[in-house]
Structure 1
Amino acid sequence: MNILERLNKEKIMAMIRGVHPGVGDRTVEALVQGGIRFLEVTTNTEGVYTLVERWRKAYGRDLLIGVGTVLDAEMARQAIDAGAQFIVSPNLDEEVIAYGARNQVDVYPGVMTPTEIVRAVKAGAKAVKVFPTGSLGGAAYLKEIRAPLDHVPMIASGSVGLHNIREILEAGAFAVGIGGNLVNRHWIESGNFVAMQKLAQELVHIVTDLREVR
């Protein structure tokens, strides 16, 4: 099973952004214990590449780890050198997609419009990140944009959480990216990693329910 097939099965990509390295390990442990199997670590996280290397070694069997907020080919190079198994961007940059393809690493670029989606696919993207899903209209927007483009795997990202993950997936999202609505900064600062683990379990349970229905 390749990375994209695994993502389609697991559905949830947790996003770590700006978490201090000192609490990063406990954050990842809570996510893994909660059943999360995909992790995106953004480049505006302190020590991102060192963290990716460390977590790849620690969770190689349990977690697929990528680098997010990759804005150009040089950042893509650093991410891949650190061991990123996939790359995520908030924008569409054909050079990043091409660099990933040359190194056999999937790139999921951020897109908003049908034009951007088609451009991304023509550039070689195997899936796209519809971002920011919440501001664009959530499940309703996703359902409408998929009508003519249902052959393109779409990862919904932006304002996705426990309150709407079910309807986002039912609208046809290939997977979802969840940041602060799961990797809750208040919980991290207060050391409440049990709450994060519990929420992860609830989100994974919804995915399991939907999988069984289908």
Structure 2
Amino acid sequence: MNPTEFTTRLTRDRLAAIVRGRSADAALRTVLTLVDEGIGLIEVSLNTDDACEVIARAVREVGRDAFIGAGTVVTRDDLLRARDAGATWIVTPVGGDPVAAAVQAQLPVLAGALTPTEAAAAMTAGATAVKLFPASPGGPAYLRALRDPFPDMPLVPVGGVDAELAPDYFAAGAIAVGVGSPLVGDAAHGGDLEQLRERARRFRAVCREEGPAA
């Protein structure tokens, strides 16, 4: 997947799921359940148990039904391991080396930033979109304030985004939301997959209802 394809999919789906778990098998089951519920962008955090194997197995299982990314990529080595496992997009909580490595590898990268300076630097470095992280301290109002000087910057809030807050972030100008525990819950640790399905359906409905990004 190239950066243009990623941006198109992110803007269309408006939701990226974040899977982080203590059990590789449970994490894989979580990924496959999310795909079964129609979620097409799924990040497997590298601090998941045996994360690269989870990514590799998920890529083999889902084919083109979903795009599996790697998250918590903080070094160039992380990037290379994720790429070799088959990750088709990258998420990092920081700028610098992992962003440069992803750009060099021609992988879409959602680069972490919080301040205006960090966000601008991420885009200058070649980020496909900016992961506004952590989003919770400033909330939708902060994202809206960032849109004033950066009206065309693709912003994706991550951290504390639940189904009730997602519409407020969309109204503030987010192109999508990245969601971990409010969506995944304890599924990636071996929790109830039926409850995961219910949460997935709720999030998908919220994202569809909001329509095109502002």
| Pairwise same-fold verdict (TM > 0.5) | yes
The one-letter amino acid paired with 2:64 is R
Task: Indicate whether 1:121 and 2:152 are aligned.
Answer: no
Deviations 1:107-134 (A, max 9, x none): 2111001101111111111211000001
Deviation, structure 1 residue 212? 7.2
Task: Indicate whether 1:13 and 2:9 are aligned.
Answer: no
Deviation, structure 1 residue 18? 2.3
Partner residue in 1 for 2:211: 211
Deviation, structure 1 residue 207? 1.4
The one-letter amino acid paired with 2:134 is P
The one-letter amino acid paired with 2:171 is E
The structure whose RCO (Cα within 8 Å, separation 6+) is larger is 2
Partner residue in 1 for 2:57: 54
CA distance in 2, matches of 1:56, 1:22: 14
The one-letter amino acid paired with 1:194 is E
* Partner residue of 1:33 out of 18, 25, 36: 36
Deviation, structure 1 residue 188? 5.4
Deviation, structure 1 residue 213? 10
CA contact (8 A) 1:39 1:64 kept: yes
Partner residue in 2 for 1:158: 159
**Deviation beyond 6 Å, 4+ runs, structure 1:** none
Partner residue in 2 for 1:107: 109
Change (3 A) 1:75 1:189: closer
CA distance in 1, matches of 2:50, 2:189: 18
CA distance in 2, matches of 1:76, 1:154: 22
For 2:183, what is the secondary structure of its paired residue? coil
CA contact (8 A) 2:11 2:213 kept: no
RMSD between superposed Cα atoms in Å: 1.8
CA distance in 2, matches of 1:190, 1:88: 24
> TM-score under structure 1 normalisation?
0.92
Partner residue in 2 for 1:74: 77
Change (3 A) 1:132 1:213: closer
Runs (5+) with no aligned partner, structure 1? none
Change (3 A) 1:213 1:132: closer
CA distance in 1, matches of 2:170, 2:211: 10
For 1:109, what is the secondary structure of its paired residue? strand
The number of aligned residues is 211
The one-letter amino acid paired with 2:13 is E
For 2:148, what is the secondary structure of its paired residue? helix
For 2:149, what is the secondary structure of its paired residue? helix
For 1:110, what is the secondary structure of its paired residue? strand
